[in-house]
Each structure stands twice: as C-alpha cells, then as structure tokens.
A = this chain, B = another copy of it.
Amino acid sequence: MVGMSLSHVLLGLLADRSASGYDLLKRFDISLANVWPARQSQIYTELGQLSEGGLIKVAAEGPRGRKEYAITDAGLAELRRWLTETNPKKIGRNEPLARVFFLGVLTRDQAVAYLVEMAAQAARGSDKHKATDESVAWDDSGLAIYGRLALEWGHRYAAMEREWAQWAADQIATQ
C-alpha cells in the first residue's frame, strides 16, 4: 500500500461496483471532486499498484484495452481496516481562507471585494449542489446513501461560508 488515501478512496468506489479507470475518473468528478480530487494519471498509476498488491484485480477486459477492476477480499478487508482502525487527519488546506489572513496588505476596498467574491462563489456552489442533487440518479446502494449525506454537508458548508463572507465583508466595510 503506497498511497495512503487515494488508494483507499479507489477501493471504496470499487467496493460499490466494479469499474475501469475511465469510469472511476468520471465518478470522481461527480462525487468526490470536492473532497478528494484526483487526476487521470494518478488514478491509473494507483490502480496499477493496487492490482499488483492484490487489493483489486482485473475482472474483465473490454474494447479499446478497457480493464474493469473489481475489489478483492483482501481489498475489502483493507478498506474496512482503514475506516475502523486508522484516524483521518482532519487538517486540510484551504487556500481561499488562508488568503484572508493577508488582506491587510491590500486597500480596504480590495479586501472587501475579495470577501464579497468569496460570498458569491459560495452562493454559486449552492446552486451547483442543488443541480447535482437533482441530476444524479440516486440508487439505494451504500455509496448513494452516504453520498447524499456528504452532499448535504456541502450544502451546509456553502451556506455557512456565504453567511460568514457577507458578515466579514460588512465588518471590514463599516470598520
């Protein structure tokens, strides 16, 4: 097990259903893009390593060199071990918020504009969430059930950020 997190995310997606690298890439885009982004090259590399390590296997080959991967028993055990016996590291990087610390080097107008833009971005995020919610064909698989919980998190996050950014812009503007 080389990559500690992307590898487990891939195991999680394959636990829901077998898929090719290409399928997984698209599934990332609709579900995990906001919490664990991954590039095409990284996904293919990681699939190769997981396969070599016996945590997934090529279950079928299709046209255009398509390889459909399925999780193995060892992979499922590893996924469960990761979820129950290791702690997620909670610290995450947040560039938009990191920038806020340094707005003091700009003019007040520029700082307010930055915060207003953050609020607008959050509002746009809300709309996008709503659209995703309506467009995704939710089945009753575990991934769909928990994916909807995560979507609700995104909804609340966007609302919180919009309100905070409006409040912050007001603090600076009326200071």
A80 and B101 form a contact (CB under 8 A): no
Within 8 A of B (CB), among A87-135: 88-106, 110-111, 114, 121
A-side interface residues, number (CB < 8 Å): 61
The smallest beta-carbon distance between A11 and chain B, in angstroms, is: 8
Q: Is the CB of B101 within 8 A of A147?
A: yes
Contacts of A8 in B (CB 8 A): 102
Closest to A31 in B: B101
Q: Tell me, rounded to whole Å, the shortest Cβ–Cβ distance linking A155 to chain B.
A: 9
Q: Are B100 and A150 closer than 8 Å at their CB atoms?
A: yes
For the complex, what is the distance from the CA of A83 to the CA of B149, rounded to whole Å? 34
Interface pair B168/A91, CB less than 8 Å apart: no
Which B residues are in CB contact (< 8 Å) with A136?
none
Cβ-based interface call for A22 (8 A)? no
Determine whether A50 belongs to the interface, using a CB cutoff of 8 Å to chain B. Answer: no
Task: Known A88-B95, A92-B93, A168-B152; judge A101-B146 contact (CB<8 A).
Answer: yes
- CB < 8 Å: which of B16, B88, B94, B104 contacts A146? B104
Contacts of A106 in B (CB 8 A): 80, 83-84
If the complex has contacts A95-B88, A121-B90, are A103 and B32 also in contact, measured as CB distance less than 8 A? no
A31 and B92 alpha carbons, distance in the complex (Å): 14
Residues of A within 8 A of B (CB): 5, 8-9, 12, 15-16, 31-37, 76, 79-80, 83-84, 88-106, 110-111, 114, 121, 141-143, 145-147, 149-150, 152-153, 156-157, 160-161, 163-164, 167-168, 171-172
